Amino acid sequence: MRFLSEYKINRLFGLICVGSFLSIYFAACSSGPSKYVQETPTNGTINICVDESFKPVIDSQIKVFESSFPNAKINVQYESEADCFRDLAKDSTRMIIVTRGLNKREENFYKDSISYVPVYGLLAYDAIAIVVNNSSKDTILSMKDVESLLKDSKGDKQVVMDGVTATSTVRYAMDSILKGQPLGKDVVAAKSSEDVINYVADHENAVGFVGVSWVGDPEDEQQLNFLKKVKLAAVQCTSCLGETYVLPYQANIALKRYPLIRGIYYILKENFSGVGNNFVNFLEFERGQLIFKRAYLWPARMSFTIRDSKISN
């Protein structure tokens, strides 16, 4: 009996020591700085990739978003559309902004690899602007003229794009203008939209294709400087009565009078309530939509009334 009693006492003493050690250990851990801070919609960092042709307007969106949510950080890379889709497949990139949503094959890929399909949606409407040298007299183009330029830029015109492959501008040209045909082999590739503008400014016979986000805002100082270097070409309105040629102005985008219109889409790979979901909400609702409008694009998520008016003398 005496042996049993000592055994119990020693066992109880051991349990008390272990319990005290664990209490001290966990208390020390909880009092120290945490290495992991759970991301929230207003606190955290997200890496996104954006089609380079949307850089001016997305820079404005990020600036306002981060000023509204100082603890939310957006690290943005501006690349070609194809590179953005490749980045989305990586763990480090959770969101991209491009000119289309996911196709069925891509939805199946994400369903198999991460067990859910990223959400995507239309944010605004953009257009492809055609720019020519300031000395050019060819500032009016039919869609047949545009198609001919893209098929064969030999002769007295040199077409320059923001890359020969992989960019959204090139994809639009091949899919929507050339109906699946390749670009002419003499089409010149520039590294970026700004390089397209500079190339056209320096070459009298050059014709450039860029997103209107680079040249469509008459209140942006940088874009005004670009428009001093080059001129916008008017393209024939295929839905208008008579032979009408229009420029890629906001009203012509809104009314679909300008024929080279495309969408701006987000694709978000975030199945929790984080910075990405907050940024999407910002882009979809009033402030983000008004920034698209202020950039002379056309918001897709807000309703605006367009009325006919007359000017009386």
Domain ranges of the chain: 44-124+263-299, 126-261
Tell me the whole-structure pTM to 2 decimals: 0.84
CATH superfamily of 44-124+263-299: Periplasmic binding protein-like II (3.40.190.10)
Nearest-Å Rg of the Cα atoms of the chain is 28
- Average pLDDT of the residues in 265-290: 97
Closest C-alpha among 142, 148, 99 to residue 246: 142
Residue 311, pLDDT above cutoff 80: no
Residues whose CB falls within 8 Å of the CB of residue 27, separated by 6 or more in sequence, listed in order: none
For the record, the structure tokens of 280 come out as 């999407």
Q: Which DSSP string do the residues of 145-175 spell out, in sequence order?
A: HHHHHHH---TT-EEEES-SSSSHHHHHIII
Q: Residue ranges of the alpha helices (H) in 168-233?
A: 168-172, 193-202, 221-229
For the record, the structure tokens of 209 come out as 């294709």
CB atoms within 10 A of CB 252: 20
Summarize pLDDT for 165-216 with one digit per residue, the tens. Answer: 789 999 999 999 999 999 998 899 899 999 999 999 999 999 999 999 999 9
Asked if the domains 44-124+263-299 and 126-261 are classified in one and the same CATH topology, the answer is yes
How far, in Å, CA of 312 to CA of 298, rounded?
28
Helix axes 193-202, 221-229, angle to 10 degrees: 30
- The CA angle 148-99-161, to the nearest 5 degrees, is 40
Please state, in angstroms and as integers, the Cα–Cα distance from residue 184 to each residue in 44, 138, 170, 177, 205, following that order. Answer: 46, 20, 11, 13, 16
Summarize pLDDT for 134-165 with one digit per residue, the tens. Answer: 999 999 999 999 999 999 755 688 999 987 77
Give the CATH architecture of domain 126-261.
3-Layer(aba) Sandwich (3.40)
- Average pLDDT of the residues in 45-74: 97
